[in-house]
Structure 1
Amino acid sequence: MTHPACDDSTPFPSAQAVSPDRDWVFRAIDLLQCDGRRSADTHLINPAFPALKGISIYLKDESTHPTGSLKHRLARSLFLYGICNGHISRGTTLVEASSGSTAVSEAYFARLLDLPFIAVMPRSTSSAKVDAIERLGGSCHFVDEPARVYETAAAIAGETGGHYLDQFTNAERATDWRGNNNIAESTFRQMASEPHPVPRWVVMSAGTGGTAATIGRYIRFQNLSTRLCVADVENSVFFDSYRTGDPAITSARPSRIEGVGRPRVEPSFVPGVIDRMLRIPDVASIAAAHVLSERLFRRVGGSTGTNFMALLLIAAGMMREGTQGSLVTLICDAGDRYASTYYEPGWLAAQKLDIAPYKAKLDRFLDTGTGLEELS
């Protein structure tokens, strides 16, 4: 007896019946991969800080992506992940919960694929990011309580029959951490000919936690001696969760450092690949952003300040111990998006943030190699 599935008399379904949007899928993936080939490798900057004897600092400049931030990589990965899993097809409305930079990048890719895009974000998100999303053809839906971005985004996706990209869940699973020119592979390849090619530490702040997870996994997969330090900010729960082992901790207050820090422990946060965590005060993050901006002759964002502050604390510890080597961190985005906040004296005064004392300590450390001992 012939099995029904193998019965030659049963007409074989046409390709059109199996997948009416297959041509669209092929074209979409090709467009996304073309963007990846154009923008995958960003500069690795090696600024000179002569006072830091025996320590070389490297900054992976993710602000040079077409959408101006590290989130360009994540957005492309999320789109590929959604398409290849059958969640995104022709005409799908895309929805994301985002404090800004991820949504800017996702709006770019949505326009590339001619798909509607809605960003759900806190009302406090910088106007520059809102303007960027709208210029790219996306629309913004604001919530007054930052913790409600998740449920609101999921609800809008359901109401529109669309797809919730869900960066906070999918960041660590959408990226191939073993290689495939991810940010870790790119950075270590660029470091290969440097005096200290294997960094002692890579420092990364956490938003979704996905980039830290990719870097930490890659370090272990390649059997490298590099250690990963994750920097957290005020009103974020990542540090406390890492310290206590409690993944259920929440915070009622939003992070002031856009793009990093979360009110809950996100699914993409993988504590098992982290070697050390530091909590950086917001005033120190912003002061560090100002100091680095002055020395690079261009502005960097607040999350880059968080990264840089944590990196300098590790550098101070290495100098105290007489240890040499290289340290790597990221320029997450440019500071022009924050002209009305982190670089606006009136905003800093309203937030009661006096960056001058931290700025003086950081300048002294970079110029003399001293001044951070009590903080490190």
Structure 2
Amino acid sequence: MKEVNMVSQRHQQDYRLQELGDFLRTRRARLTPEEVGLPRGGRRKTPGLRRAEVAQLVGVSVDWYTWLEQERPITPSTQVVERLCQALRLDANERSHLFLLALQQSPPVLSPEPEIVSPALQRFLDQFGTRPAFVSGRCWDILAWNDAGCAVFGDYRRMSTRERNTLWRLFTDPASRNFIVDWEDDARQILAQFRSSSGRHPGDTQVTELIHDLMLHSPEFRAWWPDHEVRSGQEGRKTLNHPQVGYLVFERLTFQVFDTPDLKVTVYTPLEEADTPRKVEQLLEQWYLRVGQGPHPPQAVHHLPQTQLSGQDTVGWWLAACGKRVERAWVANSEIMISYANWCEAHGYEPKKAKGVSQSLATHGLEIGVNKRVVDEHRRRKMARGVRGLVIL
């Protein structure tokens, strides 16, 4: 049996080295010397870079790199693999694949990218109806949600970024201790899950700041964090004691977004216990009445900003309330900024600057910076910048 296992391991090793060699050859073949800043040189028999050119870019000998492509059992360092990624212009998926082939491990985490929830993912949340659902990021900030999430857990639209942080709200909001049944057990579980996920981002400034602030503000966090408890997954029952309807029992399921693994989707499915489905429907009806237009989802609420950044998407809310998408329509930047500023003032929000508004409009699928000849108040024709596909109501 031991000999069979050894043979199997050798076969796996041979297959991995073959895949590594093939992968390096195909990535090398798709690049030209000009693309990597090298002179083209004389006539070439094969397309792409030569082995000697890749070795020069990486800073290793030609023989060593040749052995790597020839499936020799050599183990490069993390630094060399990182330089190979840069030399061969690999994207994030290719980089991960190369690290797995060369070192049988995932690559080190690079500087975190902006956490953006795609319109498709927001539509996915909206389809859950009476099941509260939301998306959280690497710091466990709630980045996007559906109406049922607001109805059960509170109006995320009105919260600051820190208030929407799961850990911060759990450990510093006194109301959470009454809201969550078995608060200590739940808090310890979530803390262990956060400890596990934060290990993927050592040195991340946002994670470090959150931990520091929690150590200052929560005696429980300060006492439990040094225990180094780790746990994966957020699946199981969740019992809440809602101030309006009493006990609610859910089945909680969390899963990662494949294309953006730092994003997690959490869905709460109401169980029949404690008459939970009916109570959630009641909370949702009350939510729609509070936000404005009868017992059915109002257009401006049901289609909350489809792209949520870490921060309040006031542009998305303004679009839902004051804008209408019309094909080939055009509206000037000045009219947009006046309408947006007036809406923010009326609703108590701090308006974004012009650059932030433009970026938010782009994330909502609107075409920015279109020039059009218009007539000003003095009947003079001039070129003005604006947004295509939008009408201000």
- Give the TM-score range, shorter chain: under 0.3
Q: TM-score, normalised by structure 2?
A: 0.21
Structure with max Cα Rg: 2
Q: TM-score, normalised by structure 1?
A: 0.21
Structure with more relative contact order (C-alpha pairs < 8 Å, separation 6 or more): 1
